[in-house]
Structure 1
């Protein structure tokens, strides 16, 4: 079954919660934002979209709509927007965070999880908190993105989760640490890039790491006041011989085959948490399989619950309520960690408490959030792996050969997804959802793998697949902004983009949609027609979503500017050619207002680093061994996860082909094995042998020489 009937809320406590929620939602205007008048008022504030002086949750409110009723800035005057104030962030690189605004203070997180609080009217720095992630990275063989997508606010506390696995509560006024807990063992091949989710007196956090080894995903809720663990929910079942944690895991195990626990199973929930105050439910968007290839992790088939699902849990206990699985038995990295947006929709003659969800697999889902029943599902982008979703069974109807059991399968979307973590928004006045959409097809194959012997190891990782990129792509543009009608399940308008990796969206009652692009433009569109109304050149790629708030008589639009996320880390020519090379351009927090007059220094022009030409003669044998280590070998993401596939950096880290460090074996040793630059986000890898270290150096210089030779032609 794709769905399981919702269990009725039981007991006086649950009934009281529902009654309080209803009462408070209708009268929460009596509360002032951030006063923390008990748990109920905190959740009422976080559920109230009428409070325009704040942006207190990742998606604005508990409903994750990224909608504001503000209309001071509107389709008629948005062309008068200007920079009101800005903050230079010279030590940051990729910025993907959603800022929060509470009681006149704007909070945001930058690289290595440094949290800052600034005055929301002037940008004046009030405090900064450094969790010393560089020190933590020095203690484990972990490489990857040291960024964070955001924070959470509850009562008088701000919550941040660090890349190395800590959940930290800060006093919102002073920035002082109140408590800190470790959410997974220090030596686990896991990491955190997502925002915590605060709700009902608790804070929830998950983790990433599906590709980093044999991981078994889970989420944990902690008491917001004390940091004590409240409950934990495992996403996939473990070894049956160890027993099952609950009935949900016992049920899920029936959908797995073989010795899946040897491979972990995956399902890591690194993003996509939504709290529903009306049903006292937390919805978890779950991840893909570990490894990706189902032929390896579950060789006899099976749906592999709860991969690629929305799982509804009781907010108080973490008890399973229901689930809907978007991609049964997934084998393409089609996770469902994307936004879970709540809204009341009129579908036919029925008023529905709905979930809207646009995961990687390319289908837009509308689900009854009371019981998990699928109401509709249609492709919002090019989808060739399945023809449609059967509404009777809730299952996608797969195209023959899409699972690459025997041959290469060229399908769309690819692992980047038709929609990734970049936030979509929902405007209840237009009735439309605004989705940052991606158009990329990929070839999947497992030819050459010994499926029976494949075994990922911690920090070595491995997906169990080979990827290729066909010349024939779904469209002649890689990305777009899509306005989608969730009731009619159809496109209303679409704006093609010349670049991939468009940022998340914001929509307002002023008939506006805002979005930043990888090419550095910040755009405002008419929310009803898609007409381009305003463009601002930020001089640097944008990956973070904007927010809006009003203080006094002024509405502000705030945005972090700094090309980041997986596209900048995994690199390659498309990312590199944008020209946002490592530390060339100043990252910034920018606040816009009508008639803003602040003068920002111009950014340098885009720069694509040129490989150094030297007398270094790389050895072919060592270069081949270094290729395996750099791109897919001993440690997952050891080099290419930050420095780019093929040593072509997308800007998240230096382009090593242009680095003089590669010409000095002693200095290279200091950086890579001895951790000379851990405070910049470069972890140490002391386990590398002398020959392995030298082989990486030879590989990079081999690529540098090849690029230089190509440039001379």
Structure 2
């Protein structure tokens, strides 16, 4: 079947499930090595290979025929939240994940659903997530599929049937940890991290036995309470870079929520470490310090988790500048010598090339607009910060990048054919200011910064000027010359991950709702497909029975889709959760998109200005992370300004009572009073009236 009718079967299966109790080389082969024309080619690991290059040697589809690419089949998923997974394709089966940590297996030729597994994540766990109920994919080894769940479990499924083989809780269930990243397999170990820094947790990465889920080792990324002793010498040394506060009460952060890579020749595992908890270093470590290993690339021994080396991209992190972004291994000729390198474009806006044997800095130059630092000192490896970037006295002013980053989780790709790294870059500014009334609340956002200062103002002139600086692009980066080769601009930020091929092709989905093929050497647009929804996930490619396919999961969502609001210059973007698969002789088509217009019909506003202002402050503390700045939804969740009369009547039962917890909207009875709820509602009503006035 090649149409959306299979969705009905899947919905039935999910309904039934809801009733139940809750090996590859490190580096890609040379492009001179071509596979046999009819040989099947799989996508067996997350980044295609351990080096995470996302470069395929397939050439059946190339610049000469890519304009003939057509939809071969698609599958509609019964959810409407963000899809970020990299599918794996093994022995003719596509394994991928969807919203709420569901796992799906499809026939890679026809799209037939072979099985799906719903891990029954409690829907109210969504309150502990920073960035949508997403999952970035599975790992596979010897007939078993491994995946993480939003509530912190690692599950092992039989690849043939989807039946649960075993599961293990990798986190403390009493703390607001989450898992959204894909696990990696190194030898006989499954490596998995977690998320939740802002919610108040301490980061770590763990290794489990593939056979039975036995915990083999754990590496903490930030120190705990010194009075309790340290798990390792590396934690004792890291503690010397923290000081003046009880960071362990908040957790410290440093979660390993996405990127990893492995070099089997060096036998080194590389992990990317996230931001501090709270973001604001003045609160968590008032005496200053680098706060290791926040915002660092760390090399570990995969056998025992022993620390080998680190490089900190943002010492004393205080801006949510994570280093969890995609890392790529390559061998480059630099200054006449071959260097084994690891490359990363973390949130802070600089592209780093490091020696992956030692961690030595080779180059670091800005790939996005950067105002918080003038440059990276190549002698010390440290950024040279600009005045007031740390917002210790007053706000930072409009600063780039903001917490969304110059590059977020969306994977890059490295083509040894062109020598370029393709970065889904974005400029998303922010105004940082300290929250003078900060009070830690575990399980809720704890940034230590003032969202009221960061919120877009109503003044049209200022608002338009800020939004004009919001951009998105593909940057083709030359890692040897440490400079961009070419650039393709997008309408806005939050565009999809990258895939490059030996056919001189570069594939990417974007926030405008298109899947696009470019010439990898120039950026020329060669082909485009209307996906009817924003695409944030990275494409993959595979060959079966002599046919090359390109596949991507499409479904708008993630951090910016929740909080972005007006920052999405293309406007609110619909979510239509699908798996799309293309081939040169495809003959499928999508049904016409059904657009549902947003209608604002708010009740009268009878609140005083002071009440609306108080509601705004509370909204920015508790609601903005899902419902958007200025109550302008990005498209992944309902627009509160369009709430019906019935919705307003039920407001208290939803906000305080948790009436819609099964959709992830929990009750805030432990944080908000009835009057708080009324004030927030008044602000939402005021925003709806503001939208009506703007439309006239």
Superposition TM-score, scaled by structure 2 size = 0.89
Q: Does residue 1:520 correspond to 2:513, yes or no? A: yes
**From 325, 328, 348, the counterpart of 2:335:** 348
2:544 alignment counterpart: 551
Q: Is the 8 A contact 2:128 2:177 kept in 1?
A: no
Q: Is the 8 A contact 2:548 2:583 kept in 1?
A: yes
Residues 142, 567 of structure 1: alpha-carbon distance in 2 compared, 3 angstrom cutoff: closer
2:168 alignment counterpart: 181
Residues 616, 60 of structure 1: alpha-carbon distance in 2 compared, 3 angstrom cutoff: same
1:542 alignment counterpart: 535
1:110 alignment counterpart: 98
Q: Matches of 1:698 and 1:89 in 2, distance apart?
A: 36
Higher mean C-alpha deviation, range 334-343 or range 148-157:
148-157
Q: Is the 8 A contact 1:337 1:421 kept in 2?
A: yes
1:587 alignment counterpart: 577
1:329 alignment counterpart: 316
Q: Is the 8 A contact 2:491 2:569 kept in 1?
A: no
Residues 623, 365 of structure 1: alpha-carbon distance in 2 compared, 3 angstrom cutoff: same
Residues 411, 693 of structure 1: alpha-carbon distance in 2 compared, 3 angstrom cutoff: closer
**From 411, 417, 434, the counterpart of 2:422:** 434
1:470-513 Cα offsets, whole Å, 9 max, x none, are 76569866011111111111111111111211111100000000
1:610 alignment counterpart: 599
**From 415, 440, 444, the counterpart of 2:403:** 415
Shift of 1:709: 3.2
1:232-270 Cα offsets, whole Å, 9 max, x none, are 111111121111111001111111111232332211111
Q: Matches of 1:699 and 1:546 in 2, distance apart?
A: 40
Structure 2 gaps of 5+ residues are: 1-22, 30-34, 457-461
Shift of 1:668: 3.9
Q: Is the 8 A contact 2:28 2:55 kept in 1?
A: no
Residues 649, 520 of structure 1: alpha-carbon distance in 2 compared, 3 angstrom cutoff: same
Residues 673, 224 of structure 1: alpha-carbon distance in 2 compared, 3 angstrom cutoff: farther
Q: Matches of 2:570 and 2:337 in 1, distance apart?
A: 50
What secondary structure does 2:137 align onto? coil
1:539-567 Cα offsets, whole Å, 9 max, x none, are 21111111100001100000111111101
Q: Matches of 2:645 and 2:565 in 1, distance apart?
A: 21
Q: Does residue 1:403 correspond to 2:390, yes or no? A: yes
Shift of 1:332: 1.4
Q: Matches of 2:90 and 2:645 in 1, distance apart?
A: 45
Count of paired positions: 654
2:557 alignment counterpart: 564
Q: Matches of 1:287 and 1:662 in 2, distance apart?
A: 41
Q: Is the 8 A contact 1:540 1:603 kept in 2?
A: no
2:690 alignment counterpart: 706
Q: Matches of 1:223 and 1:661 in 2, distance apart?
A: 54
Residues 662, 208 of structure 1: alpha-carbon distance in 2 compared, 3 angstrom cutoff: farther
Superposition pairs of residues 160-559 of structure 1, within 5 angstroms: 160-213=147-200, 215-259=201-245, 260-409=247-396, 410-446=398-434, 449=436, 454-466=438-450, 468=454, 478-559=471-552
Structure 1 gaps of 5+ residues are: 1-42, 634-638
Q: Is the 8 A contact 1:577 1:608 kept in 2?
A: no
Q: Matches of 2:666 and 2:526 in 1, distance apart?
A: 44
Shift of 1:154: 2.0
Aligned-pair Cα RMSD in Å: 2.4
1:88 alignment counterpart: 76
Q: Matches of 1:212 and 1:476 in 2, distance apart?
A: 29
Q: Is the 8 A contact 2:77 2:577 kept in 1?
A: yes
What secondary structure does 1:709 align onto? helix
2:641 alignment counterpart: 657
Q: Matches of 2:218 and 2:129 in 1, distance apart?
A: 24
2:7 alignment counterpart: none
Shift of 1:315: 0.2
Q: Matches of 1:277 and 1:475 in 2, distance apart?
A: 45
Q: Does residue 1:598 correspond to 2:588, yes or no? A: yes
Residues 327, 685 of structure 1: alpha-carbon distance in 2 compared, 3 angstrom cutoff: same
Q: Matches of 2:276 and 2:581 in 1, distance apart?
A: 40
1:511-543 Cα offsets, whole Å, 9 max, x none, are 000111101111111111111111111121111
Residues 678, 324 of structure 1: alpha-carbon distance in 2 compared, 3 angstrom cutoff: same
2:10 alignment counterpart: none
Q: Matches of 1:320 and 1:501 in 2, distance apart?
A: 34
Q: Matches of 1:268 and 1:102 in 2, distance apart?
A: 30
**From 539, 558, 566, the counterpart of 1:573:** 566
Q: Is the 8 A contact 1:150 1:194 kept in 2?
A: yes
Q: Matches of 2:308 and 2:545 in 1, distance apart?
A: 44
Shift of 1:608: 5.8
